[in-house]
Amino acid sequence: MRRLRFLLGLVGALALVADGLFAGVPSSATIDVATEAKAEVVVWPVAERWSGEGFLPVRVRIENRANEARTWTFKFKVWTNYQETTEHETSVTMGPREAGERVVYVPGNGRAESGRGAWGRVEVEGPGTSIGNGVNFVNQAGSDPIVSMAVSAAQESALFVASNGAPGPKAELSVVDPAAWPADWRVWSPFQQVVLTEAEWSRLDGGRRAALRDWVLMGGVLQVFANRMGEPRSGPAEERIGFGAIRRSALTLEAEEKVKTGFVELSELVQMHPEALMPMSLPPELKLTTGRLGVSLFLVVFGILVGPINLFVFAPAGRRQRLFLTVPTLSLAASVLLVVYIVVKDGFGGEGMQRGLVVLVPASNQAVVAQQQMSRTGVLLGAQFALPAAVVLTQITDTSIGATGDQNQNAAYSRSEDGASGDWFKSRRVQKQSVRQLVPTRARVERVAGGGGPDAPPVVQSTVATKLKAFQYRDRDGVLWVADELEPGRRVSLKRSVVDGGLPLAAGEFSALGGAAEGLAPIATHAAIRWREPVFVYCGPVMEARTP
């Protein structure tokens, strides 16, 4: 009988240090498949601990020693908040005598409660395996909240000393070699911070440097320290891009007394743009009602029909055999009527609202979108919907609107390479999700040359595919300029604001309200939900128009 042998080993030279403060190199799980299958499978995550939000990259290495092609299926399952699971499945085929690796980006469904983190298990099906066998590839952290930080092996000891005892949450360190992982921002998704030296940053190739910047756009913090004391920084001390930041220090990591373990929260951006993700409340017509009175009356009428009326009218004494026909007929009719009542009351599909923040990054022809949405569903005929693999989808618990997030029930979410299914959307529920995506786009707002001189009002033009309302722009001198509307492709001369209420706009940046913009926002989820007119805040730098 085929056997599956699990050997848990430690990859790397550094061991774990007490209290979980110093994680070191992540452990690997080696699956030595049965002799007749002639293969070895290694599962290796990029980090020991994971919050459960975003993605956890897991390297799968397979060596097929057989003289024929073999296929193995990997079924990843992630638990957060005890009873909520997310499943992801992928298959790998190896040719005869072939060995290779694949990085699987295992999705989560949200940040686990109390900072404990998620835990996950992978089961392998294929030649030489048996059903139900697998290994844990990530384990829960302790009870204290942590900040997960990635660092190179050369700087690990220095960062441990600098971060130990620093103000803020505890630091969970993982040694990551950027060159050993693909040029994809999801490689860094488990981490809130990445720490590099200027030399390590400069040695990265263009693709991996761009991937790290994309991760910063999605909310990460990159800390870059000097190679030697006295060397100038390669850029500003703090550069805010997208939802994250790049922080550069003139000190070496060894000279830094305490490294900040805090990270950029989306709430900071929301405070700057409160219209974006303000608390939403369902209007009365969208609230989910229980219909207890109608259901109670229905059950009373059904009880009278199937009881006394059935016994004395449809199947009187001497004709009791009719009960074998009348009872199932009445029950079937009642079931049909109950379904009709639910459909008439709640309808098919559902309705919902979407709000969000779109930060344009024209320097790299990108935008990062953070969207919150809530919906009230009726009868859903299907749970599957299209969703790109790199979209971060999180289920939100919000008891103020009745969105429980199924934290007290067994909720099963599923993600594939091009879609999602499961309990993301369920019939007759109020649910709330957070959606985040990095989008390629050439949309931008430009300051058009030829405005009449340096003291004349700026003339701007937008290529964002929506009308921008309540447009505000702070120029390089700190002066606030406004316009009621800015239509795409139309040049508009701005007016100097009479009152500057201290809007926290950085010099050279704009902020405006807008609706749906093709290719930007909103991020599409379940097609059966009828979303009301979305409201988004668009912001970012105003670029100088290119001269022909």
374-430 pLDDT tens trace: 888 888 888 899 999 999 998 887 666 555 554 446 788 999 988 999 999 988 888
Same domain, 108 and 190: no
In degrees and rounded to multiples of 5, residue 178 shows phi and psi of: -55, -35
Token code pair at residue 71: 């296929």
Taking 50 as the threshold, does the pLDDT of residue 3 lie above it?
A: no
Same domain, 335 and 364: yes
Number of domains the chain contains: 3
Token code pair at residue 312: 């004395």
Q: At 39, which helix (H) or strand (E)? A: strand 39-45
CA–CA distance, 160 with 528 (Å, rounded to integer): 50
Which of 10-19, 253-262, 448-457 has the least mean pLDDT? 10-19
pLDDT of res. 32? 52
pLDDT of res. 215? 95
Token code pair at residue 356: 């969000």
Taking 90 as the threshold, does the pLDDT of residue 286 lie above it?
A: no
pLDDT of res. 34? 53
Q: Is 110 left (phi over 0), alpha (psi -120 to 50) or beta?
A: left
pLDDT of res. 18? 28
pLDDT of res. 168? 60
Taking 90 as the threshold, does the pLDDT of residue 261 lie above it?
A: no
pLDDT of res. 126? 79
Q: Cis bond leading into 167, ω under 30°?
A: no
Same domain, 83 and 104: yes
Which of 118-132, 202-216, 435-449 has the least mean pLDDT? 118-132
pLDDT of res. 15? 27
In degrees and rounded to multiples of 5, residue 157 shows phi and psi of: -65, -45
In a domain, 278, yes or no: no
469, 513 in Cβ contact below 8 A?
A: yes
**SS3 at position 180:** helix
| Residues spanned by the domain of 540 | 292-548
Residue type for position 46:
V
pLDDT of res. 445? 96
CA–CA distance, 486 with 466 (Å, rounded to integer): 9
Same domain, 214 and 185: yes
Reported as a pLDDT band with limits 50, 70 and 90, residue 12 is: very low
pTM of the full structure: 0.80
pLDDT of res. 471? 94
Q: Give the domain-ending residue among 122, 143, 164.
A: 143
Exposure class string for 94-106: b at 16+ Cβ within 10 A, else e? beeeeeeeeebbb
Token code pair at residue 339: 């379904």
- Considering 95-99, 165-169, 305-309, 469-473, the range whose residues carry the highest mean pLDDT is 469-473
> Any residues with CB less than 8 A from the CB of 297 and at least 6 apart, and which?
none
CA–CA distance, 125 with 89 (Å, rounded to integer): 11
Reported as a pLDDT band with limits 50, 70 and 90, residue 7 is: very low
In a domain, 279, yes or no: no
Question: Taken in order 538, 540, 542, 544, is the CA torsion positive or negative?
Answer: negative
pLDDT of res. 157? 82
Mean pLDDT, range 304-316, rounded to an integer: 80
For residue 447, the 8-state DSSP code is E
Same domain, 57 and 87: yes
In degrees and rounded to multiples of 5, residue 85 shows phi and psi of: -125, 150
pLDDT of res. 24? 36
For residue 503, the 8-state DSSP code is -
CA–CA distance, 50 with 48 (Å, rounded to integer): 7
Taking 90 as the threshold, does the pLDDT of residue 36 lie above it?
A: no
Q: 190: how many CB neighbours lie within 10 A of its CB?
A: 30
Taking 50 as the threshold, does the pLDDT of residue 13 lie above it?
A: no
pLDDT of res. 320? 78
- C-alpha dist (Å) from residue 488 to 200, 264, 444, 462, 469: 42, 32, 10, 5, 11
More confident residue, 43 or 503: 43
Same domain, 136 and 171: no
User: Sheet harboring 419-422: ordered strands across?
Assistant: 134-138, 119-125, 70-80, 84-94, 411-415, 419-422, 385-386
**SS3 at position 30:** strand
Same domain, 160 and 206: yes
pLDDT of res. 35? 47
For the chain, the average pLDDT equals 78
pLDDT of res. 287? 56
Same domain, 327 and 471: yes
CA–CA distance, 39 with 128 (Å, rounded to integer): 8
The percent of residues in the chain predicted with pLDDT above 90, rounded, is 27
In a domain, 223, yes or no: yes
Same domain, 403 and 296: yes
Among 359, 357, 356, 355, residue whose Cα is nearest residue 509: 359
pLDDT of res. 291? 58
Among 460, 459, 492, 495, residue whose Cα is nearest residue 480: 495
Q: Give the domain-ending residue among 143, 158, 190.
A: 143
Residue type for position 261:
T
pLDDT of res. 214? 95
Among 114, 111, 78, residue whose Cα is nearest residue 192: 111
pLDDT digits (tens, 9 = 90+) for 42-95: 778 888 778 888 899 988 888 888 888 888 888 899 888 767 889 999 888 888
Reported as a pLDDT band with limits 50, 70 and 90, residue 259 is: low
Q: Give the domain-ending residue among 143, 164, 185.
A: 143
Long-range contacts of 288-292 (CB under 8 A, 24+ apart): 288/346, 288/376, 288/402, 288/428, 288/429, 288/430, 291/341, 291/345
Mean pLDDT, range 201-229, rounded to an integer: 91
> Any residues with CB less than 8 A from the CB of 318 and at least 6 apart, and which?
none
Q: Is 332 left (phi over 0), alpha (psi -120 to 50) or beta?
A: alpha
Same domain, 428 and 515: yes
In a domain, 402, yes or no: yes
Same domain, 372 and 428: yes
More confident residue, 310 or 120: 120
pLDDT of res. 522? 95
Mean pLDDT, range 222-251, rounded to an integer: 85
More confident residue, 273 or 109: 109
pLDDT of res. 207? 94
Mean pLDDT, range 349-358, rounded to an integer: 89
183, 214 in Cβ contact below 8 A?
A: no
Question: Taken in order 148, 258, 24, 206, is the CA torsion positive or negative?
Answer: positive
Reported as a pLDDT band with limits 50, 70 and 90, residue 265 is: very low
CA–CA distance, 134 with 128 (Å, rounded to integer): 13
What is the β-pairing status of strands 430-440 and 468-474?
Answer: unpaired
In a domain, 253, yes or no: yes
479, 506 in Cβ contact below 8 A?
A: no
In a domain, 439, yes or no: yes
Reported as a pLDDT band with limits 50, 70 and 90, residue 486 is: very high
In a domain, 521, yes or no: yes
In degrees and rounded to multiples of 5, residue 186 shows phi and psi of: -65, -15
In sequence order, what are the beta bridge partners of 420?
385, 415
In a domain, 269, yes or no: no
More confident residue, 34 or 91: 91
End-to-end CA distance of the chain: 74
What CATH number does the domain containing 101 carry? Answer: 2.60.40.10
Same domain, 79 and 93: yes
Angle at 150 between CA 146 and CA 153, to 5 degrees: 130
> Any residues with CB less than 8 A from the CB of 400 and at least 6 apart, and which?
279, 281
Reported as a pLDDT band with limits 50, 70 and 90, residue 209 is: very high
